[in-house]
Amino acid sequence: MVKKVFSLVGMIGLLLVSTVGLSASEPQRGGVLRIHALDLQNIDAHQLLGRNDDVSVAFQVYDPLVHVDSNLMPRPGLAQSWENTDDTTWVFHLRPGVTFQDGNGVFPEGQGREVTAEDVVYSINRAKEIAGDLDLRSITSVKALDKYTVEIKTAYPDAFLLDIHHLGRLMIVPREAVEQMGEEFSLRPVGSGPFEVVSFIPGEKAVLRRNEDYWLPVYLDGVEFVVIPDPETTRIALETGAIDLIWYVRNLQTAVDLAQEGFTIKPMGYSFRGIGFNMTKPPFDDWRVRMALSMMLDIDSAVKAVIPEGFGERAYGQVPPNVPMGYDPEGLRPLHEYNPDEGLRLLAAAGWTDSDGDGFLDKDGEPLTISIEIYPNPTGIDVFTILVTQLRELGIDAHLQQLDTSVWVDHLLTGKGSGIFFDFSYAGPTGLYSLFHSATIGASNTHFYSNPVVDYLLDRAGRTLDFEKRSFFWKRAQRIVIEDRVIIPVYFELGPAAANPKAHGWDASGGFVRLVTPDHSAWIEK
């Protein structure tokens, strides 16, 4: 728990200057970029099931319909433009001349077929049928209007249709490859992306080579994703040059050390961390108890003690800084106050006092016992250990209970646990809906929280295509969630990526590695 006092803001800023588009030198052609993966299993475009490493490989092999940039905003990609003819109808115009990879068993050398609207129709229908992890349930019909134009109709105005969990990650596949290859498609797929699959061994590695016919410049000769499950071995592999990029360094101290050694550190993305309550479980069904606990926690001190500067920030809401819609620290900060005396007063009003003089609060002979359930997570455990200690010093019998991840999940989903837990979310734009809409109780709404006003605001936001109006509804919903103290936001953890300083033009924001996009193309300095 000893935090190294080391300011990295300046260093990160300096290193970020060398990112996309601002590199001091011109891109150089050649070289193979070797990227770390925790596991690789199946790179069928529509069976990724959210496995981040497989998704990272998929982004190199296929083209998504829409490019989502590092600010999580949809941009032209395979679809070079789109418009709404009405609130529930989207018309996408494909980029002509994009072809599927050739030189394989489906498309012989020089005979890569052009990507057409029919391929988009096929891919959407396949993704829906196969039950992958993309949320395409709002789509009621999709059809090709002509060779390069696709019309998609939705059941309702879907504001999130283009985001990274929807069409922003819908990969386009050729029907003939899927039908001809069968199960083999998950190991040697054919797409239209910047790299072709040379070999894919589940659990070991994926070897890709440049697609010479790609519609954007590709500087790398090839890419290798190599599986290394152990974090220490991964670090040594980067230090020995056996790999060039770790796109998610899970241990913050390791990232700090690598930065000091001269490796490039870039943000992968922010994740929300906080304390969550099961709103139906006593004593957390009492707003006064939840509010009191939030006032008794010196969160700033705990975060400062554990999170190195530049690798996270204090959270006041659920929406993290990299999500363009809803991040509202200025609006939410006034709702949080560190005032232990007021917290104790609130608990007393709720009936919790130290009636037996043992130094711990109780009510009707029962102590106020708080057991925060957490899964194995080094940074979270360090921060929460401090928070639990603060509560104990104020007379609350607080503990941190570490559980196996599956048991922790089971307790959250079934409500069997203690009622207070380490809360987290990787979600991008749709996190508020996942965590707080009553429709997701028993699934991702592990707070069992139901507020008709919040439901209404979240539904309105999801159906409002105008960005500013959508953001208003989203922020309003978030504000009510905080006022209700469904969660106590603690920090946003910045997941860092670390790389060989000779590797440029890569991006790991959004939770996946993207090497070639309209914004940048990765290259290695010789």
Partner 1 sequence: MTTYLVRRGVIALFTLFCISFIVFAIVSLAPGDPIQIMLATERITPELASRIRTYYGLDEPWYIQYGIYLNHLLHGNLGYSLTTRNPVAASIARCLPNTILLTIASMLVALAIAIPLGTISALRRNSLVDYVSLTVAMIGVSMPNFWLGLLLILYFGLQLKILPVFGIGRLSNGLWDVISHLILPAITLGTSMAGLLTRLTRSTLLDVLTVDYVRTARAKGLHEAAVIYKHVFRNALIPIVTVAGLQFGALLGGAMIVETVFAWPGMGRLAVQAVQQRDYPVIQGTTLVFAASFMLVILLVDLLYVFIDPRIRYE
CA distance 83 to 89: 8
Nearer to partner 1, 112 or 269 (CB): 269
Q: Is 230 in the site for partner 1 (CB under 8 A)?
A: yes
Omega within 30 of 0 (cis) for the link into 283: yes
Task: Tell me: does residue 44 bind partner 1 (CB under 8 A).
Answer: yes
24 burial (CB, 10 Å; 0-12 / 13-18 / 19+) is: exposed
- CB distance 480 to 454 below 8 Å: yes
Is residue 415 near partner 1 by the rule CB under 8 A? no
State which of residues 79, 139, 161, 237 lies at the interface with partner 1 (CB under 8 A).
237
Given candidates 306, 412, 482, 494, which one binds partner 1 under the rule CB under 8 A? 412
Residue where the block lists tokens 């139906």? 280
Tokens of 471: 């953001």
Label the pairing between strands 222-227 and 32-37.
parallel
Regarding 32 and contact with partner 1 (CB under 8 A), the answer is: no
Contacting range for partner 1; rule: CB under 8 A; set: 56-64, 89-97, 235-243, 305-313: 235-243
Task: Select the residue interacting with partner 1 from 56, 446, 500, 509 (CB under 8 A).
Answer: 446
Dihedral of CA 388/392/398/399: which sign? positive
Using CB under 8 A as the binding rule, whether residue 18 contacts partner 1 is answered as no
Secondary structure letter of residue 310 according to DSSP? T
Count H helices and E strands in the chain, helices first.
15, 23
Residue 20 interacting with partner 1 (CB under 8 A): no
Taking CB under 8 A as the binding criterion, the range among 248-256, 348-356, 380-388, 424-432 that sits at the site for partner 1 is 424-432
In 3-state terms the chain splits into helix, strand, coil percentages (rounded to 5) of 30, 25, 45
440 binds partner 1 (CB under 8 A): yes
Q: Does 261 bind partner 1 (CB under 8 A)?
A: no
Measuring CA to CA, which residue among 421, 415, 365, 358 is closest to residue 392?
Answer: 358
- Binding partner 1 (rule: CB under 8 A), the pick from 41, 89, 385, 401 is 41
Q: Evaluate whether 416 touches 335 at the Cβ level (below 8 Å).
A: no
- Please identify, among the stretches 5-13, 36-44, 286-294, 472-480, the one whose residues bind partner 1 according to the rule CB under 8 A: 36-44
Helices (H), 261-402: 287-295, 299-306, 329-332, 340-349, 378-393
- Taking contact as CB under 8 A, which single stretch among the options 46-54, 73-81, 244-252, 487-495 is the one that binds partner 1? 46-54
Give, for 504, the enclosing helix (H) or strand (E).
Answer: strand 503-504
Stretch that binds partner 1, among 10-18, 67-75, 173-181, 404-412 (CB under 8 A): 404-412
Among 236, 261, 301, 341, binds partner 1 (CB under 8 A): 236
Helix (H, G, I), strand (E, B) or coil at 331: helix
Residue ranges in 147-186 that form contacts with partner 1 under rule CB under 8 A: 183, 186
Contact between 409 and partner 1 per CB under 8 A: yes
Given a contact cutoff of 8 angstroms between Cβ atoms, the answer to whether 31 and 524 are in contact is: yes
Stretch that binds partner 1, among 45-53, 351-359, 484-492, 499-507 (CB under 8 A): 45-53
Output 51 or 266, the one with its CB closest to partner 1: 51
Residue 50 interacts with partner 1 (CB under 8 A)? Answer: yes
Measured CA distances, 461 to 136, 153, 455, 468 (Å): 17, 19, 10, 10
Binding mask 179-218 for partner 1 (x = CB under 8 A): ----x--x--------------xxxxx-------------
The distance from CA 93 to its chain's CA centroid, rounded to whole angstroms, is 28
Size of the residue set binding partner 1 (CB under 8 A): 52
Which one, 179 or 410, has the nearer CB to partner 1?
Answer: 410
Count Cβ neighbours within 10 Å for each residue of 194-213 and write b for 16 or more, e otherwise. bbbbeebeeeebbbbbbbeb
Helix (H, G, I), strand (E, B) or coil at 140: strand
Of positions 115, 177, 181, 227, contacts partner 1 by CB under 8 A: 227
The distance of closest approach from Cβ of residue 134 to partner 1 in the complex, given in angstroms and rounded to an integer, is 9
Spell out a b/e string for 498-519, using b for 16 or more CB atoms within 10 Å of the CB, else e. Answer: bbbeebbbbbbbbbbbbbbbee
**Of residues 98-137, which lie at the interface with partner 1 (CB under 8 A)?**
131, 133, 135, 137
Q: How far is the CB of 362 from partner 1 (least distance, A)?
A: 30
The residue among 277, 279, 319, 316 whose CA lies nearest residue 300 is 316
Binders of partner 1 in range 482-521 (CB under 8 A): none
Q: Which amino acid is present at 97?
A: G
CB distance 95 to 111 below 8 Å: no
* Least Cβ distance, residue 522 to partner 1 (angstroms): 23
76 binds partner 1, rule: CB under 8 A: no
Phi-psi region of 511 (alpha: psi -120 to 50; beta: other; left: phi over 0): left
Q: Collapsing DSSP states into helix, strand and coil, what is residue 37? A: strand
Q: Which of 101, 211, 377, 444 binds partner 1 (CB under 8 A)?
A: 444
CB of 491 to partner 1, least distance (A): 19
Per-residue CA distances from 231 to 207, 254, 382 (Å): 22, 9, 18
Q: Judged by CB under 8 A, does residue 406 bind partner 1? A: yes
Q: Is 405 in the site for partner 1 (CB under 8 A)?
A: yes
Any alpha helices (H) in 241-353, and if so which ranges?
252-260, 287-295, 299-306, 329-332, 340-349
Residues that bind partner 1 (CB under 8 A): 39, 41-42, 44, 47, 49-51, 131, 133, 135, 137, 183, 186, 201-205, 226-230, 232-233, 236-237, 239-240, 242, 404-407, 409-413, 416, 425-427, 431, 434, 439-440, 442-444, 446
